[in-house]
A and B are shown apart, each in its own frame.
Chain A
Amino acid sequence: MKKLLLVVFIFAATIFMGQQITVIGPWSGAEKDAFTPVLEKFEEQTGIKVQYQIYRAEDLANLLPAQFSTKRTPGDVIFMWTSFMKSNPEHIVNLSDLIKPENFRPGALDNVTVDGEIIGIPYTGKVKPGFWYRKSFFEEHSLTEPETWDEFVALLEEISGIEGITAPIASGNGVGWPLSDVTEHFILTYGGAELQKDLIAGNVNWTGETAKKPMNKLASLLSEGYFGEPVEWTTVLEQWWQGQYGLYFMGQWLTGMVDDPSDLGVLALPGNEAVVFALDYAFIPKYSKNVDAAKQLIEFLAGPEGQTAQVEQGGHIASANGVSLDAYPPVDKEIAELLEGKATVNDLDDSIGGMWQATFWDQLKLLWVRPGRLDSVLESLQSNMP
């Protein structure tokens, strides 16, 4: 009798435990609130309860190796840098039988494929489309979107002359990613998606001619003073909105940070045919206590159902096929449509990661105030490549 009770107890306990998993993500506040409905939908469907835990990727980079080495994990599904996943495949559950490349945008799975095996899923992401401007600002000063490089420079010159303008293009400071985002835009426009991919893979030298071309163009604008001095990126956003700057390169999350998104316009560098589509990726650590339930969640998040639920909240673009354009709110719909004609690539520094990323950000801060040192900057970037 006692034994039976014990078995029933254990059985019930496993069922009870089996019904709860933890997902770890970097989002907090409003962003986290946008993720909750997706988890709720999953719970409705499967009955599996999901708890959300926040950790920044940098902190996970410190914490996970320590935990993994003692065969523990803080979560069952973890959102993390792909560079981390790629260097730790031995701790990660293989998902090749669940996740198929044909169900996603081309290239979405590149960063989570190691030796042909798929170890992570692409979730939704944000696009970094180009330089944002206030439509009202352009109308007021009769400015138009440029079609060629020369027209672009002329536009910058014209904006410089407007009263109250500190500089035509605002430069965001902080950790460093705002500068790297706009740099990648130059790389993509004048080197194409191929150059970005080659740089990530380390196939192309930073000091070589192909990489120098876009960097020279960037440096030329910096030397002319068309970029402002780097200021904290949220402060300069406010200043740009108030008319101290004309253009501000930013990701699509900008739409959620301004008072009047309908006043927003975005222009890419003339000739641009590829944009960074910064996807969030997730994986399942081998040490999860409930791999099956985690697999169910990850399938959901990677599939059209979960991703539709996410994009409906606004501010996200799906990586999975089968998500209808109508699921997007109007502002995001425009961006999703914009995406249709262009190639998408991964974020350069996120893909390489580690100390190179910190070096990249630091070197760009130097380049911004001393564009004459482009050569030594490129050398530093090259010598620090992993």
Chain B
Amino acid sequence: MRKKRLAGNILKNSLGWIIALVWILPIAGIFMTAIRPYSEVINGWWQFEEFNPTFSNFTGALFHESSPLLQGMINSLYIAFPATIIPLILATMAGYGIARYRFPFRKTFIITVVMTLALPQQMIAVPIFQIMSSLGLVDSFWGLILVHTAWGIPWTTFFMRNYFKTLPVTMEEAAKIDGASDSQIFFRVVLPNAFPAIASAAALQFTWVWSDFFLALILIYSPSKLLATQRIPLMRGQYQVDWGLLSAASITVMIVPIMIYILLQRYYVRGMVGWTIK
């Protein structure tokens, strides 16, 4: 019985690690292509006759003449921070509001919020473009931040509402008995306990905004304002680029969400799991 168990275990472990190795191959490949001069990998990055690791692809991508990735990263950060903080504030309050208070059409609101989770961005693209045109906000960062904020509110509201439903009301009721006002209850009692949910939502929203491509594509045009994600397809088709530069660019853009995942892994995963499993 024990032998069978042992064999089973070894099988499981080997299988697991083999899968891991195979799974990481594409990333390893792009990493190899990024750190070696393109001429070396032209017939496959697994060739190792010549191996001269270099940063030239990274500097080439970051400071590319026609579309410097560094500028794109800075632009993306400029968008991602406000587009995370603002919706988080608004949606946390709204989520709390729906979780705790009874007001007319509450159910409709919740259902609407969930429906918007299903909406594709394509459904709002054209009117948003028209609205932004008339507001003079086409090709402006704040226009994009505004749209991201609005788009992030439904899911964050739903997420925070689900979280608040798991918080026992007793503390809030106690505070109420002590004579605290509603906003005092919210800011002093509830918020501090909402930290895990807020961290999760923030991690996800930030990653989501950073990774966005479609909204940026329809709203941002000036070469100097292009976001990091927009510069990647440009490198693919438009400019004089090779796979070395493209790989380096891809890794650079990937690093930010990966860092967030590594540092905030617990919250990140809770974020993905938390609002889908009630």
Contact = CB atoms under 8 A, between A and B. Distances in A.
A106 interface: no
B133 A66 contact: yes
A59 B222 contact: yes
Given A63-B221, A70-B133, A235 B243 contact: yes
B240 A69 contact: no
Given A28-B66, A70-B133, A70-B136, A56 B243 contact: no
B242 A59 contact: no
Contacts, number: 49
Interface in A225-269: 232, 234-235, 238-239, 257
Nearest to B218: A62
B237 A174 contact: yes
Nearest to B226: A59
A172 to B, nearest CB: 11
Contacts of A56: 223, 238
A238 B43 CA distance: 13
Contacts of A238: 39
A153 B65 CA distance: 41
Interface residues of B, number: 23
A37 to B, nearest CB: 18
Interface string B146-161: 0000000000000000
B139 interface: yes
A137 interface: no
A232 B66 contact: no
Interface string B203-238: 000000000000000100111000000000000111
A29 interface: yes
A234 B223 contact: no
Interface string B124-159: 000001001110101100000000000000000000
Interface string A64-89: 00110110000000000000000000
Nearest to B238: A175
A55 B136 CA distance: 18
Given A63-B138, A174-B237, A29 B221 contact: no
A235 B242 contact: yes
A29 B134 contact: no
Given A28-B65, A69-B133, A174 B221 contact: no
Given A56-B223, A235-B243, A29 B136 contact: no
A235 B66 CA distance: 18
B241 interface: yes
Contacts of A143: none
B221 A55 contact: yes
A54 interface: yes
Contacts of B133: 66, 69-70
A234 B240 contact: yes
Contact of A59 (B39, B134, B223, B240): B223
B224 to A, nearest CB: 8
A28 B71 CA distance: 16
Nearest to B139: A63
A62 B221 contact: yes
27 contacts: A28-B65, A29-B65, A54-B223, A55-B221, A55-B222, A55-B223, A56-B238, A59-B221, A60-B221, A63-B138, A63-B139, A63-B221, A63-B222, A66-B129, A66-B138, A67-B138, A69-B133, A70-B133, A70-B134, A175-B237, A175-B238, A232-B241, A232-B243, A234-B240, A235-B38, A239-B42, A257-B240
* 9 tightest Cβ-Cβ pairs between the two chains A and B: A29-B65, A59-B221, A175-B237, A66-B133, A66-B138, A28-B66, A63-B221, A234-B240, A174-B237
Interface of B: 38-39, 42, 65-66, 129, 132-134, 136, 138-139, 218, 221-223, 236-238, 240-243
Interface of A: 28-29, 54-56, 59-60, 62-63, 66-67, 69-70, 174-175, 232, 234-235, 238-239, 257
